Structure 1
C-alpha cells in the first residue's frame, strides 16, 4: 500500500508500507514540497502518487527506509537523470542526499 506522508508516520502506516517488501520501504521524496510517498514494489509507483498529487518530476527522488536499522538509502531507477546531472541509480549530489535524508528521518525516525 502506498501512503502520501506529510507528517510523522504512524505505526499502522509503516506496517502497511512494509507489506510489499518486508523490512524495506521504497520511497519517492519531493524535496521542494517536503512530501513523500512510500510503499509498494517500485519507486515509480511512489513517484506516480506524488505526480498525481501535483509534484514536479524534477523534484522527486527515489530513496528507501529500513525501519529496523533506521537506515536511509538513495538508490532507485528513477534517480537516473542525465539532464539533471545524476547519471547513476544513487543520488550523487551530497547536498541533495542530505535534504532527502532530513525529510525521510523527520517522517520516520522515532
Structure 2
C-alpha cells in the first residue's frame, strides 16, 4: 500500500504492477490530491485519508487498469445518494475529471 500526493517513479509503478497485477485500487481525495494505492477495499483507503484530515465528501474510488492504461472510476465507496451519486461509478463530470487528472499525475509514467 502506498499513500502519496506526488508522481510515482518508474520503479514504483513497476513494483505496483508486479504486486497487484493488471489492476490496482486507488482511493483519492479530490481536494488535496492525496491518493492511497493498493488497499484491499476502497474503504481502507478512505480510512487512511480521513486519518490524514480529508473530508469524506472529497474521497472517491476507482483504479488503474495497467493492461489498457485506463483510469477506472468504479467503487462501492462512490455510492453516495446524498451527493447525487446513485451508482458505483463517479457520475458527476467535474469529479470524474478531477479523479482522472489526479490518477494521471500520480501514474504519469504509464502515459509516457
Question: How far apart are 1:50 and its partner, in Å?
Answer: 1.0
Residue 104 to residue 16, structure 1, CA distance change in 2 (3 Å): same
Which has the larger helix fraction? 2
Q: TM-score, normalised by structure 2?
A: 0.87
Secondary structure at the aligned position of 2:50 is classed as helix
Within 1, Cα distance between the matches of 2:101 and 2:8? Answer: 14
CA RMSD between the two structures: 1.5
Deviations 1:42-99 (A, max 9, x none): 1111111111211111100001102232200100000000111101000111111011
Count of aligned positions:
108
Quote the residue 2:70 is aligned against: 71
Q: TM-score, normalised by structure 1?
A: 0.88
Quote the residue 2:49 is aligned against: 50
Residue 12 to residue 45, structure 1, CA distance change in 2 (3 Å): farther
Quote the residue 2:10 is aligned against: 11
Within 2, Cα distance between the matches of 1:52 and 1:39? Answer: 17
